[in-house]
């Protein structure tokens, strides 16, 4: 080997590994400018394969890993590109959302939409600010373990929030389990909330955080919920997928939301099925699983609840949806007319393998359903972390109204029975 080839060998190997999607190996620019930049996915939730870099164009594609078919999640970092204007060209399917990519100039601390004006023919351009040494791009706005930990720290010392571990993931990570509200055993009603059965569906996590925030808030709804309801919350059903940056949807041999029939293969689903059956104790009234739909298109840019074949349950879902529609105050507008009944469009699953279908059979439950929350555009309004949290607040307030009505009816029924017995005694 010549001396020149020996000098180039390490750089060529690093580039080859990065372009093949090797974890942690950055792809480095190969243009003739005096400065270089690196593109990699060695970050929590990272996902990208760098195909090649030519001048100021980076050719990339999402890493499908164990996904059956195609999907659209990606998340990567660019370092050392200060002051440059780069083009990022996807080489496969169109995986840029309806408001362009999400971008963070501060190492993933805050995110904003870059906008459709930056997008052209499965690519986007970005002018890197002079001081932006670490810029991140993602299909949407990531929500990771670090985000959950920040939320928990805000309520450190709050007696109405307890953190625990549901189980360990296949890779040894803690799968968090939160209890909120009243958990002294005296709560009249219980609520089960889950999220990220499909790990890429990140915007749903902001909705969940908003719900938890309202439960713990010094508001009428928060105070009532803490006095009467115990919440069990699993924020990351597919914890490994969230932190590793997997697609999660259609994971082989089946994903977490198709693991509720027969013997579960995913530790979190297996542990939740065992725990929830005992924990429900006849007091579980509401089970809600939070998701995001497809990348774009009709119905995928609306907020809606998904129905099952149980018509009584679906009727109660519609009742709750009407309360939400009438009481919402946030910037995103929910319409009960967007709800998806069983047997319509894609909602035709016959096997009881999803969370919603399984939860509908838990003792005492009145409402078991899935909420689909769009990634970037909700009936023409912009979805952000803040607007998603606001919808979560609306959901929690609507849940208070619904659960309070159930409790009032139960108390009235007890009173009627008591008066009836008294009348029999007098007779």
The pLDDT tens digits of the residues spanning 36-56 come to 899 999 999 999 999 999 999
Q: What is the DSSP code (8-state) at residue 193? A: E
Under CATH, what is the fold of the domain 16-138? Immunoglobulin-like (2.60.40)
Higher pLDDT among residues 170 and 423, named by residue: 170
Measured CA to CA, the distance from residue 98 to residue 51 in angstroms comes to: 24
Q: What is the mean pLDDT of residues 179-204?
A: 97
Residue 29, SS3 per DSSP: coil
Whether residue 214 contacts residue 151, with contact meaning beta carbons closer than 8 Å, is answered with: no
Measured CA to CA, the distance from residue 292 to residue 72 in angstroms comes to: 12
Residue 416: what pLDDT?
44
Residue 35 has pLDDT above 70, yes or no: no
Spans of all domains in the chain: 16-138, 145-412
The pLDDT tens digits of the residues spanning 192-234 come to 999 999 999 999 999 999 999 999 999 999 999 999 999 999 9
The pLDDT tens digits of the residues spanning 237-253 come to 999 999 999 999 999 99
Measured CA to CA, the distance from residue 319 to residue 284 in angstroms comes to: 17
Surface-to-core class of residue 297, CB atoms within 10 Å of its CB (0-12 exposed, 13-18 middle, 19+ buried): exposed
CATH of segment(s) 145-412: 3.40.630.10
Report CA torsion sign: 177, 67, 385, 257: negative
Whether residue 349 contacts residue 167, with contact meaning beta carbons closer than 8 Å, is answered with: no
- CA-based R_g, the chain, Å: 24
The pLDDT tens digits of the residues spanning 132-170 come to 999 999 999 999 999 999 999 999 999 999 999 999 999
Alpha helices in 329-368 (DSSP H): 355-359
The pLDDT tens digits of the residues spanning 349-369 come to 888 899 999 999 999 999 999
21-25, 358-362, 408-412, range with the lowest pLDDT: 21-25
Q: How far is CA 394 from CA 147, 317, 387, 391, 412, in A?
A: 21, 16, 11, 5, 27
Q: Compute CA 30 distance to the chain's CA centroid, rounded to the nearest angstrom.
A: 37
Residue 9: what pLDDT?
39
pTM of the entire predicted model:
0.91
The pLDDT tens digits of the residues spanning 368-385 come to 999 999 999 999 999 999
What are the phi and psi torsion angles at 224 (to 5°)? -65, -45
Measured CA to CA, the distance from residue 202 to residue 195 in angstroms comes to: 9
Measured CA to CA, the distance from residue 234 to residue 214 in angstroms comes to: 17
Q: Which residues contact residue 265 at a Cβ distance below 8 angstroms, ignoring those fewer than 6 apart?
A: 253, 254, 259
């Amino acid at each position: 080997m010549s001396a020149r080839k020996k000098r180039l060998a390490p750089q060529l190997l690093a580039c080859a590994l990065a372009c093949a999607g090797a974890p942690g190996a950055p792809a480095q620019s190969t243009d003739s400018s005096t400065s270089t930049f690196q593109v990699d996915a060695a970050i929590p939730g990272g996902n990208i394969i760098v195909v090649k870099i030519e001048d100021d164009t980076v050719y990339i594609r999402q890493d499908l890993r164990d996904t059956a078919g195609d999907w659209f999640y990606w998340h990567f970092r660019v370092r050392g590109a200060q002051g440059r204007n780069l083009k990022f060209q996807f080489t496969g399917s169109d995986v840029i959302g309806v408001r362009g990519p999400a971008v963070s100039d501060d190492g993933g601390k805050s995110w904003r939409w870059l906008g459709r004006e930056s997008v052209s023919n499965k690519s986007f351009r970005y002018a890197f600010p002079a001081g932006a040494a670490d810029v991140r791009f993602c299909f949407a706005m990531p929500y990771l373990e670090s985000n959950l930990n920040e939320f928990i720290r805000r309520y450190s010392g709050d007696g109405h929030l307890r953190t625990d571990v549901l189980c360990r993931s296949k890779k040894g990570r803690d799968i968090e389990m939160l209890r909120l509200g009243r958990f002294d055993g005296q709560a009249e009603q219980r609520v089960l909330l889950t999220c990220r059965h499909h790990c890429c569906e990140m915007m749903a996590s902001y909705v969940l955080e908003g719900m938890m925030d309202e439960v713990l808030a010094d508001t009428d709804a928060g105070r009532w919920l803490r006095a009467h309801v115990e919440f069990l919350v699993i924020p990351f059903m597919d914890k490994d997928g969230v932190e590793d940056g997997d697609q999660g949807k259609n994971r082989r041999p089946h994903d977490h939301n198709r693991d509720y029939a027969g013997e579960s293969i995913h530790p979190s689903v297996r542990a939740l099925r065992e725990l929830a059956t005992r924990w429900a104790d006849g007091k579980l009234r509401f089970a809600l699983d939070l998701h995001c739909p497809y990348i774009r298109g009709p119905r995928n840019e609306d907020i809606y609840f998904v129905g099952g074949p149980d018509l009584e349950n679906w009727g109660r879902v519609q009742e709750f949806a009407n309360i939400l529609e009438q009481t919402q105050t946030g910037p995103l507008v929910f319409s009960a007319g967007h709800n998806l009944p069983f047997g319509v469009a894609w909602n035709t699953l016959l096997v009881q393998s999803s969370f919603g279908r399984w939860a509908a059979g838990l003792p005492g439950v009145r409402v078991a359903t899935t909420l689909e929350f769009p990634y970037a555009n909700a009936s023409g309004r912009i979805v952000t972390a803040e607007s998603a949290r606001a919808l979560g607040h609306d959901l929690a307030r609507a849940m208070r109204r619904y659960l309070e009505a159930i409790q009032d009816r139960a108390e009235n029924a007890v009173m009627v029975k008591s008066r009836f017995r008294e009348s029999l005694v007098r007779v």
